[in-house]
Amino acid sequence: MTLEINEDHPGVATIALSRPPMNALNRQVQTELLEVAREASIRDDIKAVVVYGGPKVFAAGADIKEMNTMTFVEMNKIAGELQAGLGALASIPKPTVAAVTGYALGGGLEVALAADRRICGDNAKLGVPEVLLGVIPGGGGTQRLARLVGPAKAKDMIFTGRHVKADEALRIGLVDEVVAPDEVYNAALRWAAQFATAASVALAAGKAAVDEGLDTDLSTGLKIEKQYFASLFATEDRATGMRSFVESGPGKAVFEGK
């Protein structure tokens, strides 16, 4: 797995899933996802992140051969690590987008669900087929999927284990954009590139406010929003943005991410 800045889009880093032929997400890959997510989080030169499995497949799921002989005691010890690894993108305080071609199944879909946005090819097939193995999604799938598409649609996918094609995925809100397969990565880069010079501290605050607010009631969520909103008045970007607006109008500020 690699984390590299795109030469044509400074500020945009790509996390490349690379475990041929189907990018099966074994424990090593899950650990690597955690490591690159931490690196992307702290590097000032990275403003947004694309996760990409390649032109043919995003990730076809966890490594079932690795799990096949595990006992309850063994899995109970590492289940938290499984959730953390497959959900690592959610911990990055920057805009993230999953560029999905081909299959995104089981753990593969769980990785994509942890991103802020999902762009897929019109050949994509997404699903959580764990029930066909006698289990349920264990890397965040039951929770993030239900929050994204609603409980009824999430239960339908979890209960049946069926593959959802790109057009249905777009219709139910599982993905945000559908393009030709050979345009998936470029579309993801274009979306991420718009944040290369944005007010990154404000972006992080906005992301945290939404994510934390979804885990609580409206009243508490509004208090969370108030705290993050007020905190931004201690940043240089806030001063820069408002001064630029007063002097030159909207959309002309040059931010430094401070």
List, in order of start, the domains of the chain with CATH numbers: 2-193 (3.90.226.10), 200-248 (1.10.12.10)
Region 33-47: mean pLDDT is 96
* Helices 27-42 and 72-86, packing angle to 10 deg: 30
Residue 70 token pair: 């595990």
Catalytic annotation, pick one of 32, 74, 110, 236: 110
Residue 14 token pair: 């790509």
Work out the pLDDT band at 118, boundaries 50, 70, 90: very high
User: What is the pairing mode between strands 117-121 and 96-100?
Assistant: parallel
Task: Report the pLDDT value the prediction gives residue 62, as an integer from 0 to 100.
Answer: 82
Instruction: Tell me whether residue 110 is one of the annotated catalytic residues.
Output: yes
Cα distance between residue 22 and residue 145, in whole Å? 22
Catalytic annotation, pick one of 74, 130, 168, 212: 130
Contacts of 216 (CB under 8 A, 6+ apart): 224
Query: Tens of pLDDT along 49-100?
Result: 999 999 999 998 888 888 999 999 999 999 999 999 999 999 999 999 999 9
Instruction: Tell me whether residue 130 is one of the annotated catalytic residues.
Output: yes
Task: Report the pLDDT value the prediction gives residue 18, as an integer from 0 to 100.
Answer: 87
Task: Report the pLDDT value the prediction gives residue 43, as an integer from 0 to 100.
Answer: 95
Cα distance between residue 86 and residue 101, in whole Å? 18
Task: Report the pLDDT value the prediction gives residue 248, as an integer from 0 to 100.
Answer: 93
On the question of pLDDT at 209 being above 90, the answer is yes
